[in-house]
Structure 1
Amino acid sequence: MKLAPGTTVVTNGTLLDGNGGPPVPNATVIVTDGRVAYAGPARGAPPVEPTARRIDAAGGTIMPGLVEAHFHPTYFNVAALEDLDIKYPVEYVTLLAAANAKLALECGYTAARSGGSLFNIDVWLKKAIENDLCPGPRLAASGREICGVGGLMDWNPDYRKIGMEGLVLLVNGPDEARAAVRKLVKDGVEWVKTYPTGDAAAPDTNDHHTLCMTFEEMHAVVATAHNHSLKVTGHCRANAGIKNALRAGYDAIEHGTFMDAEALDLLLARDVPCVPALYFEWASVERGPEFGLPPRVIDGHKETLEAGAESARMILKAGGRLGMGGDYGFAWNPHGDYARELTFFVNYVGLSPLEVLTCATRTGAEILGRAAELGTVEAGMLADLLVVDGDVLADISLLEDRSRFVAVMQGGAVKAGKVAGERPA
């Protein structure tokens, strides 16, 4: 992705630098050749050339671009598990993924980590974004996922003879787990996504208290992935599955729903981040009936929602790290609603707006492995910025309204927002 040449000055706004510190009123951010050259009080800003582009934040908020830490680019209008792999042909899913990526950027998300993708579409989507062929967040790709045979992601019956290999690699034992990772190495992924546990979506076979992989399979995945410098994460709801993942050496945990004190100690000992993805659970409970979700499934999501909220509070209170995002692309939880997760964590989970924004920026960049260049607004960082018309700390739901975005910037280039179509002065 090319960095924008020249200088841009963003003024007349309150700066939230992403580090969780107090906001800086009447701030100025100077961007030179795609990187932040200055971020701080206006009175301390160095002079810039008269030809510099100027963006007026209009008394609003200047902050880092958001990071969607559990992004499924190939999910689209999913109403049942089978929709994830056989609803559309791969050619159309590829076009949908590009549209979802563009939408995410327009929603202020300048970076994202894939939580799994049909085939390895996200690997190629990342290349297209980096080569400026299509707009989207800076992407960390995961490609196909790994699950035990008969587990949550193994829903196509054998008599159909269609398998699951477009979406998930099914394994029986550690040897097959190693072979699956090696396929993903060839595909070019950065993260290996696994399914250690079930979910409320499958109450009859693999509910949220069941395991879908053995510890030996999970350990084999980690050893093989780490050998190739890849990171491993997993869909972890059941308490035993969380502990298995942490003991196996996972680099992140998705959901972390039913944590206890022992699981928390394991998480904190290695400072493993967790992405709870809780708005999906709320949407499943509140909107599930209109889409025909069975009462047993909705009851499971209620249990997952309450336990997941408690686990998230427990992690952050103990000094652990949370990322924001997850599982958008379902019919009741569509792409474009990403920032509702942030509002939800303030209004329902009880975190402060500043805590949530730190999770959605700096911690997200840490999860991507790019904290040295993304996630905060400091000198030397890539100028991935979000300028919002309004006080985001006073009303975090402003981030749900794209019409309030003055500018969404990547590498100093304005990609979306009110000033996107304006010619630089």
Structure 2
Amino acid sequence: MKTATGTLLIHNGQVVDGTGGPPVPDAAVVITDGRITYVGPLHDAPQVESASDRIDALGGTIMPGLVEAHFHPTYFNVAALEDLDIKYPVEFVTLLAACNARLAVECGYTAARSGGSLFNIDVWLKQAIEEDLVVGPRMAASGREICGVGGLMDWNPDFRKIGMEGLVLLINGPDEARAAVRKLVKDGVEWVKTYPTGDAAAPDVNDHHTLCMTYEEMHAVVATAHNHGMKVTGHCRATEGIRNALLAGYDTLEHGTFIDDETLELLLERDVPVVPALYFEHVSVERGPEFGMSQQVIDGHQETLEGGAESARRILAAGGRLGMGGDYGFAWNPHGDYAKELAFFVDYVGLKPLEVLKCATQTGAEILGREEELGTLATGKLGDVLVVEGDVVADIAILQDRSKQIAVLQGGVVKSERGVSRSPAGFGA
């Protein structure tokens, strides 16, 4: 991804640097050749030559670009599980993924970690973004996911004879677990996504208190992935699944819904980040009836919501780390609503706005393994910056309004203004 040349001054706003510290009023950020060279009070900022080298924050907020830590680029208007892999041909899903990537940037998200993708579309989408062929967040790719046979993600019946190979690698035992990871090595993914547990969406045989993988399978996944320099995460709701993931050496947990004292202690000992993805549970409860969800499924989402909120509060209060994002692309939880997660963690979960903003920036960058380059406004880091009209600390819901976004920058290059993305250099006006 190209970086800007020259010097750019962003001024006339408060700086929220992403570390959780208090805002700096009447501040400025200077970006030189794509990297931040100054953050602090405007009166100490270096001068720039012309007005064309400035962005006026209009008295609003200058902050790091947001990080979507559980991004499904190939999900689109999913109303049933089968929609994830057989609704559209892979060629069309690839185009949809590119549209979702562009939308993420228009919403202020300059980086994302894939939480799973049909085939390895996200691997190639990442390359297209890095080569400036399409606009999208800096990505970490995950590709196909891994689940035990008969588990949550094994929904296509055998009589169809189409399998699940496009979306999920189904395994029976440690040997098949190792073989699945080796396929992902060849695909070029960075993160291996697994399904240690079930979910409220499958209440009959794989609900949120069941296991979908054995500890031996999970350990085989981790050992193989780490051998090849890849990281491992997992859909972990049931307490036993969380424990198995932490003991097996997982690098992050998705959801971490039902944390108990023992698993919290393990989590803190290993300093493993968790991406709760709670807004999905809330909107499933709120909008489930209009999409024909059974009351049993809705009740399961409500239990998951309450358990997940309590776990998130406990994790952060104990000094653990939370990332923000999750499961957008369902019909009732569409792409573009990413920032609703942030307001939800303030209004429902009870976290402070600065805590949530830190989770959505600094911790997100740490999950990506790019904290030296991204996630906070600091000298030497890439100029990935979000400039918003309004005070996001006083009203974090402002981040949901794309018309309030003055500019979204990656490497000092303006990629979106007022929620409309610019075409990549050399590809349109």
The TM-score with structure 2 as length reference comes to: 0.97
Shift of 1:44: 1.4
Count of matched residue pairs: 422
Deviation at 1:49, TM superposition (A): 3.1
* TM-fit CA distance, 1:45: 1.1
Residue aligned with 1:250, SS: coil
The 8 Å contact of residues 144 and 169 in structure 1, kept in 2 or not, is answered as yes
> Which residue in 2 is equivalent to 1:108?
108
Give per-residue Cα distances to partners, 1:156-187, cap 9 Å, x unaligned: 11111000000000000000000000000000
Secondary structure of 1:279's counterpart equals helix
> Which letter does structure 2 place at the counterpart of 1:12?
N
2 CA distance for matches of 1:377 and 1:48?
19
Is 1:190 equivalent to 2:190 in the alignment? yes
How far has the Cα of 1:417 moved from its partner? 1.7
User: How is 1:354-373 mapped onto 2 (pairs within 5 angstroms)?
Assistant: 354-373=354-373
Is residue 282 of structure 1 aligned with residue 282 of structure 2? yes
CA deviations over 1:120-147 (Å, ceiling 9, x no partner): 0000000000000000000000000000
TM-score normalized with structure 1 length = 0.98
After superposition, the C-alpha distances for 1:355-400 in whole angstroms (9 at most, x for unaligned) are 0000000000000000000000111000000000000000000000
Aligned to 1:41: 41
- Which deviates the most, 44-53 or 370-379? 44-53
Q: SS in structure 2 opposite 1:159?
A: helix
Contact 1:19/1:362 (8 A) holds in 2: yes
| 1:215-230 to 2 correspondences below 5 Å | 215-230=215-230
Task: Answer whether contact 1:232 1:250 (CA < 8 A) is retained.
Answer: yes
Q: Which amino acid aligns with 2:355?
A: E
**CA displacement at 1:418 relative to structure 2:** 3.4
Q: CA deviation at 1:7?
A: 1.1
Distance in 2 separating the partners of 1:247 and 1:101: 34
| Residue aligning to 1:18 | 18
Counterpart position of 2:333: 333
Instruction: Establish whether residue 133 from structure 1 lines up as the match of residue 120 from structure 2.
Output: no
Please say if residues 402 and 417 of structure 1, whose CA atoms lie closer than 8 Å, have aligned partners that are also in contact: no
Q: Which runs of 5+ in 2 are unaligned?
A: 423-429
Q: Give yes or no for the alignment of 1:173 onto 2:142.
A: no
- Classify the secondary structure of the residue corresponding to 2:43: helix
Amino acid at match of 2:54: R
Does structure 1 conserve the Cα–Cα contact (< 8 Å) formed by 2:3 and 2:413? yes
Aligned mates of 2:40, 2:6 — CA distance in 1: 20
Cα distance change, pair 384–284 in 1 and its aligned pair in 2 (3 A): same
User: Which residue number in structure 1 is paired with residue 402 of structure 2?
Assistant: 402
Work out the CA distance in 2 between the residues paired with 1:269 and 1:199.
26
Superimposed CA distance per residue, residues 80-122 of structure 1 (whole angstroms, 9 cap, x where no aligned partner): 1111000000000000000000000000000000000000000
Counterpart residue type for residue 386 of structure 1: L
Question: How much has 1:50 moved relative to structure 2?
Answer: 3.7
Q: Where in structure 2 are the equivalents of 1:234-313 lying within 5 Å?
A: 234-313=234-313
CA 1:92–1:419: 2 relative to 1, 3 Å: closer
Q: 1:419 to 1:41 in 2, by over 3 A?
A: farther
Task: Classify the secondary structure of the residue corresponding to 1:408.
Answer: strand
State whether residues 9 and 52 of structure 1, in contact with CA within 8 Å, keep that contact through their aligned partners in structure 2.
no
* Structure 1 unmatched runs, 5+: none
After TM superposition, the structure 1 stretch with the greater mean CA deviation from structure 2, 1-10 or 45-54, is 45-54
Matched residues in 2 for 1:418 and 1:53: separation?
18
Alignment partner of 2:156: what SS? coil
Q: Aligned equivalents of 1:356 and 1:402: distance in 2?
A: 19
Deviation at 1:51, TM superposition (A): 6.9
Q: SS of the residue aligned with 1:314?
A: helix
Secondary structure of the corresponding residue to residue 76 of structure 2: coil
In 1, Cα distance between equivalents of 2:421 and 2:341: 29
Runs of 4+ displaced beyond 6 Å: 419-422
Counterpart for residue 86 of structure 2:
86
